Structure 1
Amino acid sequence: MAGDEVRHAYGDNMGWRLKGYAKRNSGPPISVRTISRAEFLQIRPLFDADDNPWLVDLNQVVPEIWPCVEKVLGPMDPEQDYYITGQPLDWDKDPVQAARDLLDERFPLATAAFLGGSVAAGTYTANSDLDLVVIVADLPGAFRETLEHRGWPVELFCHTVESLWDFVSRDTKDRRPPLLHMCAEGFLMLDSDGTGERIRSEARALLELGPPPATITELEDRRYAVTDMLEDLISARDEDELLFVATRLVTGAGELALVVQNRWLGHGKWLMRRLREADHGELVDAYRALVRGEGSDWFIQVVEHVLKTAGGRLEAGYRREAPPR
């Protein structure tokens, strides 16, 4: 969108606020003050965290560096959890405050909550939603809900600790555990009794461990499917058919490439991001060239390479018995 240029994180149109929240409790911030762009630029290099220009968790600063933070921002209250939030000066929506207000209103008995998605990743826009994982000890049943709060679309994932790990276990087998990513990579918004920190630590360990290795059967199924789609692409004479086959093929080949490397998968934009992280960006680039009408040769070559790393094409000799009824 046209306004994105003025929303660059370090642009002159950004405003920065230092907010302090009561430890282990939800609710509004105890303290809020504006900091200058110059102060933010002094503080930002001190963080041992992924580049996140929109939302910075000061609790990630190691104790040895804390005096450097206070030298720039002044004395800090040890009883507060501090965050720096950035937003365009002409965009009066604070996602962190909206998420905290929602927790306070809807889940006063929650023991832990994580804010994930594009807000936590520092890539949110005016059209982003708030992805919240909420842990409630006596929740009658896990549920997912979409709603709107203070102008923000919200995706709620509400669980007990037990139901959370049950869902994570099932999603892990499919190599697409969104809850695991949100708890491991998101911001811990609430931790009333240490539950949140325990979940975050275990989620990070599981994410680092990676998905279960692929079985021979799964690899053969994926090779066969990609081979079949590749043949359809090579033989396509209709440009529209070519585009539709290529769309399926970039997903199938991309997933196969990640499975071979025992990496996590993802849907849509997350599959693209996983491919970039795994140095498979050439598959995306070749697909883009095909879509732009620059021919399919490069894309075919890249898919052939993916198949080769998985054991090559698979056609004749492939057989699967129907499951018993």
Structure 2
Amino acid sequence: MAGDQDEVRHAFGDNMGWRLKGYARHRSGSPVSVREISRAQFLTIRPFFDAADNPWLVDLHEVLPAIRPIIEHVLGPLNPDEDYYVTGHPLDWDKDPVQVARDLLDVKYPLARAAFLGGSVAAGNYTANSDLDMVVIVDDLPGAFRETLRYRGWPVELFCHTIESFHDFVARDTEGRRPPLLHMCAEGFLMLDADGTGQRMRSEARVLLDAGPPPATVTELEDRRYGTTDLLEDLIGARDEDERLFVAARLLSCAGELALVMQNRWLGHGKWLLRRLRDAKEDELVDAYRALVRGEGAERFIAVVEAVLVSAGGRLDAGYRRAAPPR
């Protein structure tokens, strides 16, 4: 327990409060009940939930019957007609992201069937520059769209779909090994579930994520091996320090993706590629790249990339051929 307390204090300092908020099921809007809870209460219930990477917000939406008496013993009775969240908040700052997202949903999409809050807020990697990533399912949209806006001081990324367009995008993104919608639905917070659509989407998303991406084809592996080999040779031959840095940055992405493909893992862009590599225990690739950037030489990074290529069948250059795509 002391370790948990240290972690929470480290993440937020001592000026932290906690609230238990209850929302009416099957509709959006403001919480119907709010009460302050103590740090001790929060730290007591936290181990029962998947909050290892999210020390400041706990979703009580899926309290299992076996642990409900324990949770109610700590927090008091929970109304079965309400969905509960415990949110942490600096005592001098009142921009609760779940509440802001719910209010925005109520204003813009009061007839939505389902809505999820994902991204860095759900992952617990919240910073002053974080935004609210929201997936919203609405029946009468003329077409799926993505919109960026600001609401009550928060930058917001809206991903608006019908249920049909959602499934179309998921199928396309799954084939490309980068399914952000699946991650937001499987790992985010279900803010609204008017008719059971949200729970079905969450369950289906978790099944699809657990199953992993489709196996790589021979063509895909050859393309990735060729691209990685080409960049590796550029790095080995680079004499200009700035060129070396630029080539290495691109090579990190290509070799990292190849390593993930060989483990049949999901891919990601930018920070999400880093997180996927860490999940796959590919730390050596990142560590070797960091050493190169620090000016400690490229030899270690080259060796790690070579090992990734060997795991995929080795370098590929002479003999590689692809027909030009049709115009």
Question: Could you say whether these structures have the same fold, taking a TM-score greater than 0.5 normalized by the shorter chain as the test?
Answer: yes
Which residue in the other structure is 2:93 paired with? 91
Which residue in the other structure is 2:66 paired with? 64
CA-CA distance at 1:11 after TM superposition: 4.0
Equivalent pairs counted in the alignment come to 321
Calculate the aligned-residue CA RMSD, in Å: 1.5
Instruction: Give 5+ residue unaligned stretches, structure 1.
Output: none
Equivalent residue of 1:100, what SS? helix
CA-CA distance at 1:50 after TM superposition: 4.5
Which residue in the other structure is 1:159 paired with? 161
Q: Distance in 1 between matches of 2:293 and 2:241?
A: 10
Q: Distance in 2 between matches of 1:121 and 1:191?
A: 21
Q: Does 1:192 align with 2:218?
A: no
Inter-CA distance 315–82: structure 2 relative to 1 (3 Å threshold)? same
Which residue in the other structure is 2:111 paired with? 109
CA-CA distance at 1:8 after TM superposition: 3.7
Inter-CA distance 322–10: structure 2 relative to 1 (3 Å threshold)? closer
Equivalent residue of 1:284, what SS? helix
Inter-CA distance 324–108: structure 2 relative to 1 (3 Å threshold)? closer
Q: Does 1:323 align with 2:325?
A: yes
CA-CA distance at 1:175 after TM superposition: 0.5
Could you list the structure 1 runs, at least 4 aligned residues long, displaced by more than 6 angstroms after superposition: none
Moved more, 52-61 or 160-169: 52-61
Match of 1:256 among 255, 258, 270: 258
CA-CA distance at 1:13 after TM superposition: 2.0
The residue identity in structure 1 corresponding to 2:81 is E
Moved more, 55-64 or 187-196: 55-64
Q: Distance in 2 between matches of 1:67 and 1:262?
A: 40
The residue identity in structure 2 corresponding to 1:111 is R
Which residue in the other structure is 2:135 paired with? 133
Match of 1:213 among 180, 204, 215: 215
Q: Distance in 1 between matches of 2:121 and 2:156?
A: 11
Counterpart contact for 2:229–2:316, Cα < 8 Å: yes
Which residue in the other structure is 1:237 paired with? 239
TM norm structure 1? 0.96
Q: What fraction of aligned residue pairs are identical, expressed as a percent?
A: 78
Counterpart contact for 1:49–1:60, Cα < 8 Å: no
Q: Does 1:37 align with 2:39?
A: yes
Q: Distance in 2 between matches of 1:183 and 1:6?
A: 26
The residue identity in structure 2 corresponding to 1:251 is S
CA-CA distance at 1:203 after TM superposition: 0.8
The residue identity in structure 1 corresponding to 2:25 is K
The residue identity in structure 2 corresponding to 1:237 is R
The residue identity in structure 1 corresponding to 2:48 is L
Counterpart contact for 1:46–1:61, Cα < 8 Å: no
Counterpart contact for 1:223–1:310, Cα < 8 Å: yes
Equivalent residue of 1:20, what SS? strand
TM norm structure 2? 0.95
CA-CA distance at 1:70 after TM superposition: 1.1
Q: Distance in 1 between matches of 2:86 and 2:21?
A: 6
Counterpart contact for 1:21–1:30, Cα < 8 Å: yes
Deviations 1:91-135 (A, max 9, x none): 321100000000000001001000000101111111100000000
Q: Distance in 1 between matches of 2:205 and 2:158?
A: 18
Q: Distance in 2 between matches of 1:67 and 1:267?
A: 42
Counterpart contact for 1:136–1:160, Cα < 8 Å: yes
Equivalent residue of 1:60, what SS? coil
Which residue in the other structure is 1:286 paired with? 288
Q: Distance in 1 between matches of 2:325 and 2:104?
A: 47
Deviations 1:168-203 (A, max 9, x none): 111111111111111111110000100000111111
Moved more, 212-221 or 89-98: 89-98
Inter-CA distance 6–206: structure 2 relative to 1 (3 Å threshold)? closer
The residue identity in structure 2 corresponding to 1:269 is K
